[in-house]
Amino acid sequence: MKYAFAQRTRNFQSSAVRDILKVIDQGNIISFAGGLPDDDLFPLEAVEEAYKRVFESGKHSLQYGLTEGFILLREAIAERMAQRKNIRMDTQNILLTTGSQQAIDLFARIMLNPGDIILTENPTYLAALQVFQSYEAQVIPVESDAFGMLPEDLEKKMKTHLPKFVYVVPTFSNPSGKVWSLERREHLLRLAKKYNVIIFEDDPYGEIQFDEAANYTPIAALDNGETVLYTSTFSKTVVPALRTGWVMGPYQIIRMMAQAKQAADLHSSSIDQQALYYLLRDFDLNGHIAVLRAVYKERMHAMLNQLQRLDLPGLEYVVPQGGMFFWVSLHEKINTKSLLPKAIEKGVAYVPGSPFYVEEPKHNTFRLNYTHSVPEKIEFGMSQLVSVLEEAYEAITTDKALTEI
């Protein structure tokens, strides 16, 4: 039998990351590929306690729940966001989702007609690109530097393209690890208001900051509640298997997303949402996050040490101030996708950079995760990777192009 799939499936792409993860899962490989937190740091006992509380609360806790999500958890998130992020919104402005991935999807679903335009950073989160493409939208990249989108290019593209929204990961961006300056955040918001464009602020990594004293103000905290949708998740701070994220913003939009969610899956697991509520109530999550910050910072340095030893033409990277990734550029003759099988052969994996690009992928880039492995493994894995890279550079030195550098 022949199956006539919908037009939109032509734009479907399987995630490069998840496909690599599948291969890696089968072998004994040190993986810098996924955006995985470290299992060993999971607060297993606190999670188990939290589920106990759910079951103690009686059988009604196992009944169908609200599409918007467990109300006590939404209240706790509202409070937490006010305290930690200075984002002040009511419970009714919050929708609980199956990870922040679903927040991106539901927002795209209620906003995008085929052909609609979205502005993004470039490179940007590839699974967001997957979503936008699946709704047949057109993604246009805005030029950026280390501090965020460039004001002139941003305004030009807002004016010319009248985008439906701007999608940004301004704090420890995936994949580039960048942090936007406050000035650029304010500028984006100002333009968004001027041109009546919504900002979708994706902030999964914001809590993983290495400088405890630093203050990275979310764009949503600068807004009056009209222009910014803000999404985050407990996947990086508690555990991923809970699949509990949230999105907060203008009520009119949240309500429409809730209607879309009603059709999409009625509601997310309410056992998990209730457990998370008890965990936030009874567990010192902020203390736990402080530990994560310290441990991940140490791992970032372990990886940085290895990168600093490399003396390769064209090598570039930014030292992350938080989040989970190094974003590395190599000499333009190096193709990181072709190189990956060799790396895997040597027992180490990364994600090639090209799928993160909107247009004209840079094939000489890759992303390294440092949160999933202990420093000793990072050192060994990096030494393996270094030998793969050095070999690749040797191969291209026969080429004139390199000797000209």
CA atoms within 13 A on the CB side of 144: 27
Q: Which is nearer to a copy of itself, 1 or 213 (CB)?
A: 1
Handedness of CA 366, 17, 139, 363 (dihedral sign): positive
Residue 246 contacts residue 232 (beta carbons within 8 Å): yes
Token reading at 289? 């996050």
Among 29, 34, 173, 352, binds a copy of itself (CB under 8 A): 34
Stretch that binds a copy of itself, among 40-48, 77-85, 315-323, 349-357 (CB under 8 A): 40-48
Q: Residue 62 interacts with a copy of itself (CB under 8 A)?
A: yes
Q: How near is the Cβ of 319 to a copy of itself at its closest, in Å?
A: 26
Residues 219 to 238 in contact with a copy of itself, rule: CB under 8 A: 226-227, 235
Among 72, 256, 289, 310, binds a copy of itself (CB under 8 A): 256
Among 64, 287, 376, 398, binds a copy of itself (CB under 8 A): 64
Q: Return the axis-axis angle of helices 375-397 and 285-309, rounded to nearest 10°.
A: 30
Token reading at 190? 């100002």
Among 272, 334, 343, 353, binds a copy of itself (CB under 8 A): 272
CA atoms within 13 A on the CB side of 342: 14
The one-letter amino acid at 339: L
Q: Residue 196 interacts with a copy of itself (CB under 8 A)?
A: yes
Stretch that binds a copy of itself, among 2-10, 175-183, 288-296, 328-336 (CB under 8 A): 2-10
Q: How near is the Cβ of 205 to a copy of itself at its closest, in Å?
A: 15
Q: How near is the Cβ of 121 to a copy of itself at its closest, in Å?
A: 19
Q: Rounded CA gap, 390 and 387, in Å?
A: 5
**First-residue to last-residue Cα distance in the chain:** 57
How many CB atoms neighbour CB 23 within 10 A? Answer: 15
Residues 289 to 348 in contact with a copy of itself, rule: CB under 8 A: none
Q: How near is the Cβ of 266 to a copy of itself at its closest, in Å?
A: 5
The values of phi and psi at residue 349, to 5°, are -135, 150
Residues 100 to 119 in contact with a copy of itself, rule: CB under 8 A: 101-102, 105, 109-113, 116
